[in-house]
Amino acid sequence: MTSTIVIDPVTRIEGHSKITIHLDDHGEVVDAQFHVTQFRGFERIAQGRPIHEMPSIMARICGICPVSHLIASSKACDQILAVEPPPTGADLRRVMNLAQIVQSNALSFFHLSSPDLLFGFDADPAQRNIIGLLQANPQLARDGVGVRRFGQQIIEWLGGKRIHPSWIVPGGVDSPLSEETRDRILSTVPEAIAAIERAIVWYKSSLLDWADEAASFGDFRSAFMGLVDQDGNVDHYDGLLRVMDADGNLLADRIDPTAYTDYLGEAVEPWTYLKSTYWKMLGYPDGVYRVGPLARVIVAGQMGTPRADIELDEFRRRLGRVPGSSFHYHYARLIDMLYAAERIEELLRGPDILLPRVRAFAGINSNEGIGVSEAPRGTLLHHYRVDDDGIVQWANLVIATGHNNLAMNRSVLQVAKRYVRSAELTEPMLNRVEAVIRCYDPCLSCSTHALGEMALQVQLIGHTGVVLDELVR
Amino acid sequence: MTTVHTLRIDGADVAASDGQSILAVATENGIDIPTMCHLDGLSDTASCRLCLVEVAGSNKLTPACTTLVTEGMDITTTSEQLTEYRRTITEMLFLERNHICAICVANNHCELQDLAEKLQIDHFELPVINPSVGIDASHPLFAIDHNRCIMCQRCVRVCAEIEGAFTWGVMGSGIAERVVTDMGTPWGESPTCTSCGKCVQVCPTGALFENGRSIAEGSKAQRPFLPFLKRLGEGLEQT
């Protein structure tokens, strides 16, 4: 008999989702599926609109990472205009993108995930949130708020507002950086770096406590994909795609992202609105790969900034060159944040960052454009086709959460097999299922363009198809 | 010699020259009457109906932009009924097409947006139509997005009265009414358009815009040419 248990407070993921766990006639878990149940259809909304509107329309996909969509969309538009932004314009886009990386990673780690890590997955859900964190570890909570503010303030100072700034435009950015703004941002960098480093020390001190979770939170062999620069170091704004397998071998390197359709397939399943992107050479569904902070620190040779490189070395000493567990997204996310804060400072201290030439103007010079960047959650692709007047005829968005969909499904199954022991769901079990999804920091609004409040539903289904238990958050 | 009239607007005694409109006299005296199709320097058509006012002794509302003052007029520009009419008209201007301020080139530079803010319109009570309306981006410099057109026809008038090109016209009627270039020829193929851009500058919304402009970049910085030319035409600047 189906029963519904309502749990308050609500869950800590972004978007609507449902999980079904299938049992065999012995009551053992045989399958699990992560369903994303909403649809928004931005690819269709884009049709018929002028290309210059694309960055701002696409930014509306998400209120958390609008800058990522601004970047990928503007880069696709750059190709349609057949222009390269002036170097200063490109660097200013980089600064805002990295600020976005910091603020979104901070939200994921401090606000959404650290309560689990501080209190444990079996703790009272009423305590296991940012308010509980504030009471139990005020320094960590304050650092979380401070680091997120650091990223959000940079976005606001550069673009005029924190959410959906329209400063990043096709061809570059719409205004140069003032000396005053540069100095103001630079003055906030040291404290941001110090706060991130405090969080890294705290995280490393508790890492061994989570060995059991790390062994079952999506611990499997898969490929990893991310952008790297010419030297093979991490690059969030530009660069070429690198794909590494579970043994550290390069499956592909220096792939021009505009050739993504040669390498990546997109499968559609009837039980979810989230497409499953797969590595074509391995086929579907075997071509599972992961993107995001963990993938970035794995595929890159080095991060490329001093402090982040020290942390990356330690990460590799502790976990190996290609750690298989998605639990380590948290650790990687912290290193990613540290790199971003350091790189923001490097870019702002560049000799040309205040130059007034920040935007290239051009008409429609190509009928197709593909833009790629590293969003907080992983590689983001925007692909548009336009008519000769620049009106969008077709659009395809490949979102980080789509890249990770196969891996998330596999992770949910692994957690379910490890923790589901009966035909009854318990809150700690639900929390672990949720937490493994949270490792990926999925943005369901981005990936399916879902609309609405956060929700997670878990169904336990017996071998006859009967719903044995159900939890709704 | 100019005849001077005395009249009352909102209870205040004011003086006006013969031939002045109620709108002109009200503006001179610091009394704000909402407008949309009116623009200083162009002829008036009284098509938007936002400037309707009450005139004592008349049982119907009167457009302030095309009604000339007469001796002893007693005019009311603000009342509960007028405010309600103006709010409804503004709401209908939004709902007849597809206006999405957040992604509009004219965001923060839009007279319709300003008017809605002034009238404190924060939601719509009438049903949304969401018509399928096209864009003509065939011109190398400019584009028209009919989704944002409110049929004020300023573009039609400036093209005829100031530029003298007569490129813009109106086709269709009712909800199917559209401004068109050269009888429906794509703008980029127009044989009469001089690419002066005056139509873009007078457009109160983001319907007409410069190609390549992104969100919120559609300011109307070049508009001051209009009153200058109008006054020049009337001989007022020839002193």
B84 inside domain: no
Whether residue B51 is found in the same domain as residue B105: no
Residues of chain A contacting B216 with CB distance shorter than 8 Å: 166
Task: Find the residue in B nearest to A362 (Cα).
Answer: B212
A271 inside domain: no
Q: What angle do CA A182, A188, A189 make, to 5 degrees?
A: 90
Output the average pLDDT for chain B: 90
Please check whether residue B131 touches A, CB under 8 A: no
Task: Find the residue in B nearest to A56 (Cα).
Answer: B103
Please check whether residue B218 touches A, CB under 8 A: no
Model pTM score: 0.86
How far does the CA of residue B105 sit from the closest CA of chain A (Å)?
8
Q: Which residue has the higher pLDDT, A271 or A88?
A: A88
- What is the pLDDT at residue A473? 58
Residues A78 and A70: beta-carbon distance below 8 Å: no
- What is the pLDDT at residue B225? 60
Q: pLDDT, tens digit, for every residue of A412-438?
A: 888 888 887 766 777 777 778 778 888
Nearest to B215 among A53, A389, A390 (CB): A53
Question: Is there a contact between B214 and A170 if contact means CB atoms under 8 Å apart?
Answer: yes
Number of domains in chain A: 1
In this predicted structure, the answer to whether residue B226 has a pLDDT above a threshold of 70 is no
In this predicted structure, the answer to whether residue A42 has a pLDDT above a threshold of 80 is yes
Residues A336 and A227: beta-carbon distance below 8 Å: no
Whether residue B74 is found in the same domain as residue B109: no
A341 inside domain: no
Residue type for position A9? P
B83 inside domain: no
Question: Is there a contact between A48 and B105 if contact means CB atoms under 8 Å apart?
Answer: no
Strand, coil or helix: A45: helix
A42 inside domain: yes
In this predicted structure, the answer to whether residue A454 has a pLDDT above a threshold of 90 is no
Q: pLDDT, tens digit, for every residue of A225-267?
A: 999 999 999 999 999 999 999 999 999 999 999 999 999 999 9
B239 inside domain: no
A185 inside domain: yes
B51 inside domain: yes
Lowest-pLDDT choice from A216-225, B85-94, B211-220:
B211-220
Whether residue B129 is found in the same domain as residue B220: yes
Please tell me which of A28-37, A95-104, A123-132, A153-162 the model is most confident about, judged by mean pLDDT: A95-104
In this predicted structure, the answer to whether residue B2 has a pLDDT above a threshold of 80 is no
For residues A28-51, give the mean pLDDT: 85
Q: pLDDT, tens digit, for every residue of A323-349?
A: 999 999 999 999 999 999 999 999 999
For residues B213-238, give the mean pLDDT: 60
- Domain around B120: 101-233
Residues A243 and A280: beta-carbon distance below 8 Å: no
In this predicted structure, the answer to whether residue B222 has a pLDDT above a threshold of 70 is no
Task: Find the residue in A nearest to B133 (Cα).
Answer: A48
Structural tokens at position A368:
């197709």
Question: Is there a contact between A50 and B145 if contact means CB atoms under 8 Å apart?
Answer: yes
B163 inside domain: yes
In this predicted structure, the answer to whether residue A181 has a pLDDT above a threshold of 50 is yes
For residues A202-216, give the mean pLDDT: 85
B90 inside domain: no
Quote helix, strand, coil % in chain A, to nearest 5: 45, 20, 35
Residues A430 and A458: beta-carbon distance below 8 Å: yes
Domain containing B137 — which CATH number? 3.30.70.20
CB-based contacts of B62, cutoff 8 Å, min separation 6: B22, B52, B53, B54, B55
Structural tokens at position A137:
């570890």
B29 inside domain: yes
Alpha carbon of A83 to those of A96, A292, A308: distances in Å?
Answer: 20, 28, 33
Number of domains in chain B: 2
Alpha carbon of A179 to those of A57, A100, A167, A406: distances in Å?
Answer: 30, 21, 17, 46
Strand, coil or helix: A251: strand
Whether residue B123 is found in the same domain as residue B209: yes
Please check whether residue A160 touches B, CB under 8 A: no
Band of residue A79 on the pLDDT scale cut at 50, 70, 90: very high
Whether residue B119 is found in the same domain as residue B172: yes
Whether residue B159 is found in the same domain as residue B218: yes
Decide which of B63, B78, B93 is a domain's last residue: B78
Nearest to B103 among A48, A57, A361 (CB): A57
Please check whether residue A306 touches B, CB under 8 A: no
Domain containing A370 — which CATH number? 1.10.645.10
Strand, coil or helix: A240: strand
- Domain around A65: 4-212+349-472
Decide which of B46, B78, B110 is a domain's last residue: B78
- What is the pLDDT at residue A14? 55
Task: Find the residue in B nearest to A49 (Cα).
Answer: B135
ipTM: 0.82
